[in-house]
Structure 1
Amino acid sequence: MQFTSKPYRWFLRFNYVFLSFLAVLCLFPIVNVLAISFSSGEAVSAGQVTFWPVDFTLSSYKYMLEDTQFIRSFGTSLLRVVLGVSVNLIFTVLVAYPLSKEAAVFRSRTVYAWIFVFTMLFSGGLIPGYLVVKEMNLLDSVWALILPGAVPIFNVLLMLNFFRVLPKEMEEAAWMDGAGHLRTLWSVYLPVSLPSIATVTLFALVGHWNAWFDGMIFMRSPEHYPLATYLQSILQQVTASMQNVTLEEAALLNQVSDRTTQAAQIFLSILPIMAIYPFLQRYFVHGMVVGSVKG
């Protein structure tokens, strides 16, 4: 009866209104960025743009899309995401599974765990990392963007903790049926680990899609830049290109400013994540109750 009482119903209504208000507040920055990207440079510089475009124009997007480099960079980012996320997931699962075992089963577990944690806290530095990639002949290759971060330790820790809370009876039943470690991992652990896999997949996807600094370091030619690196370089090109342009280019650049191109960059960067996140959301919700299974 307490859940149908009048005070409780008012409490629910207040929660719905308050959470809806917070959701709208979270959307305001995205709407503002979108409005700026569709507005003229003069209107943005004058501070006239809030949540609706002023002097609607596609000049910022046209400025980026006219160069075929954008298409090449977009393809490079897609390839990086597909290969990078796949490599990250494979290594994350293969590392997390043995580390989730007890010390009695995996005697060197503690030593390996500390080694991985050490690599998360300390790194060799930028120059040694560059020299390693260079000596492996990976410069100007998409693998230079993937292999240095092939084992994301934070994701390994998340998956490790998820494996540890799974009922041991499931693994024992698989062993009684004659399954080995690989069969147990594939047929028992992975099917019930979709919430954790979805979480680390999203982390890896966002990390690869938004990374731009490694593209600047490991890519010698701009033709091999991933999209985030290419978009980052556009902000510098807008100012530099104003010095020597044709009349047609000047008319286009008159509608473009660093703020409009930056807004277009931000919106294009978050668009793929916004498209994928709704499909992963249901696994996050389901993951809240998976660990409640008791043996």
Structure 2
Amino acid sequence: MHHTSSAYRWFLRFNYVILTVIALLCLFPIVNILAISFSSSAAVNAGSVTLWPVDFTLSSYRYMLENNQFIHSFGTSLLRVVLGVSVNLLFTILVAYPLSKEAATFRSRTAYAWIFVFTMLFGGGLIPGYLVVKEMGLLDSVWALVLPGAVPIFNVLLMLNFFRGLPKELEEAAWMDGAGHLRTLWSVYLPVSLPSIATVTLFSLVGHWNAWFDGMIYMRSPEHYPLATYLQSILQQVSVQNENVTFEQAALLNEISDRTTQASQIFLSILPILAIYPFLQRYFVHGLVVGSVKG
């Protein structure tokens, strides 16, 4: 039986307290935004909303769901995430697999590895990148948000190190059964690489969902903005308009304010990540290197 000292038990308790405090501090802004989104404009303007809604109302969400620009931007972000994560994951695996081989197997591995690392440290700049996207005819399309970052080098390094940690016997057994590289990658490497795949998938998903600067550069019209770019634009201007509205819309505008509508939009924008993360978080328990291979 494993016995722990009194000092070690106190150390664990101290860690639990510190981690709990940090978790609460991280949750406080989210809970505050949620409370503001469900509160009346008078309560928010009075500064009486902290962690619980005051004068509970759904007016901000009603107004937001009637905003066609928000709905269209939300759909653009969903499309970007589906295409971007798929492209990132495909190129990450296809690049990491050959780079994980020994120099005796892949003689040019070191040269290619340095080329990829160089692109991670140095870039061509904003203007050359814009000119490349423009000359390829990608402006004002979702591909302008996907293709420039198709090969995330950081994710490649994570997957590369994971592939290197897998037992060589797995690959040797596949080769003895007549499998080639693609068959070995698909049938041997990928099934035991779920923790690493989940990790790079989550990194790509969060990166594409939260990216806003490229949408502002490559999208000529606000109608094609992804959600993060749209939110960035409304946070810098008044989002509630009072012109050319019907009587019902005018009554609704009296119940909301810029802060309540922005809070509702911000909360709905982070809701997909909050919903997906718990399903991928369990893979982090195993770590990036241990994975599902034991011994």
Question: TM-score normalized by structure 1?
Answer: 0.88
Question: For structure 1, which segment, 229-238 or 179-188, has the greater mean C-alpha deviation from structure 2 after superposition?
Answer: 229-238
Distance across 2 between alignment mates of 1:68 and 1:103: 55
Equivalent residue, structure 1, for 2:238: 238
> How is 1:60-99 mapped onto 2 (pairs within 5 angstroms)?
60-99=60-99
Please report how far the alpha carbon of residue 28 of structure 1 lies from its aligned counterpart in structure 2 after TM superposition: 2.6
Q: Is the 8 A contact 1:163 1:189 kept in 2?
A: yes
Any idea what the Cα deviations from partners look like across 1:60-105, whole Å, max 9, x if unmatched?
A: 3233221222222222111111111000000000000111111111
Q: Partner of 2:3: helix, strand, or coil?
A: helix
Equivalent residue, structure 2, for 1:293: 294
Question: For structure 1, which segment, 177-186 or 17-26, has the greater mean C-alpha deviation from structure 2 after superposition?
Answer: 17-26
Are positions 1:190 and 2:165 aligned together?
no
Equivalent residue, structure 2, for 1:168: 168
> How is 1:141-160 mapped onto 2 (pairs within 5 angstroms)?
141-160=141-160
Question: For structure 1, which segment, 129-138 or 3-12, has the greater mean C-alpha deviation from structure 2 after superposition?
Answer: 3-12
Q: Partner of 2:139: helix, strand, or coil?
A: coil
Q: Residues 63 and 233 (structure 1 numbering): CA distance in 2 closer, same or farther, change over 3 Å?
A: farther
Distance across 1 between alignment mates of 2:19 and 2:149: 37
Q: Residues 107 and 51 (structure 1 numbering): CA distance in 2 closer, same or farther, change over 3 Å?
A: same
The residue type equivalent to 1:85 in the other structure is V
Equivalent residue, structure 2, for 1:227: 227
> How is 1:1-295 mapped onto 2 (pairs within 5 angstroms)?
1-3=1-3, 19-20=19-20, 22-238=22-238, 241=241, 244=243, 246=245, 248=247, 251-287=251-287, 289-290=290-291, 293-294=294-295
Q: Is the 8 A contact 2:36 2:259 kept in 1?
A: yes
Please report how far the alpha carbon of residue 251 of structure 1 lies from its aligned counterpart in structure 2 after TM superposition: 4.6
Distance across 2 between alignment mates of 1:128 and 1:10: 56
The residue type equivalent to 1:201 in the other structure is T
Any idea what the Cα deviations from partners look like across 1:31-63, whole Å, max 9, x if unmatched?
A: 111101212333223221111011222333233
The residue type equivalent to 1:293 in the other structure is K
Distance across 2 between alignment mates of 1:60 and 1:208: 26
Count how many residue pairs are aligned between Structure 1 and Structure 2.
Answer: 293
Q: Residues 106 and 66 (structure 1 numbering): CA distance in 2 closer, same or farther, change over 3 Å?
A: same
Q: Is the 8 A contact 1:40 1:57 kept in 2?
A: yes
Q: Residues 216 and 11 (structure 1 numbering): CA distance in 2 closer, same or farther, change over 3 Å?
A: closer
Question: For structure 1, which segment, 67-76 or 257-266, has the greater mean C-alpha deviation from structure 2 after superposition?
Answer: 257-266
Q: Is the 8 A contact 1:166 1:293 kept in 2?
A: no
Q: Is the 8 A contact 2:32 2:50 kept in 1?
A: yes
Please report how far the alpha carbon of residue 179 of structure 1 lies from its aligned counterpart in structure 2 after TM superposition: 1.1
Q: Partner of 2:151: helix, strand, or coil?
A: coil
Structure 1: where are the runs of 5+ without partners?
Answer: none
Q: Is the 8 A contact 2:196 2:291 kept in 1?
A: no
Q: Is the 8 A contact 2:216 2:229 kept in 1?
A: yes
Question: TM-score normalized by structure 2?
Answer: 0.88
Question: For structure 1, which segment, 202-211 or 64-73, has the greater mean C-alpha deviation from structure 2 after superposition?
Answer: 64-73
Please report how far the alpha carbon of residue 21 of structure 1 lies from its aligned counterpart in structure 2 after TM superposition: 5.3
Distance across 1 between alignment mates of 2:196 and 2:33: 32
Percent identity, aligned pairs only, is: 83
Q: Partner of 2:62: helix, strand, or coil?
A: helix
Distance across 2 between alignment mates of 1:262 and 1:117: 39
Distance across 2 between alignment mates of 1:185 and 1:92: 13
The structure with the largest helix share of the pair is: 1
Distance across 2 between alignment mates of 1:125 and 1:250: 47
Please report how far the alpha carbon of residue 150 of structure 1 lies from its aligned counterpart in structure 2 after TM superposition: 0.3
Any idea what the Cα deviations from partners look like across 1:214-249, whole Å, max 9, x if unmatched?
A: 11111112222212222222334526836x565855
Q: Partner of 1:3: helix, strand, or coil?
A: coil
Any idea what the Cα deviations from partners look like across 1:245-276, whole Å, max 9, x if unmatched?
A: 65855554444444333322331121101111
Distance across 2 between alignment mates of 1:75 and 1:240: 21
The residue type equivalent to 1:146 in the other structure is V
Question: For structure 1, which segment, 112-121 or 214-223, has the greater mean C-alpha deviation from structure 2 after superposition?
Answer: 214-223
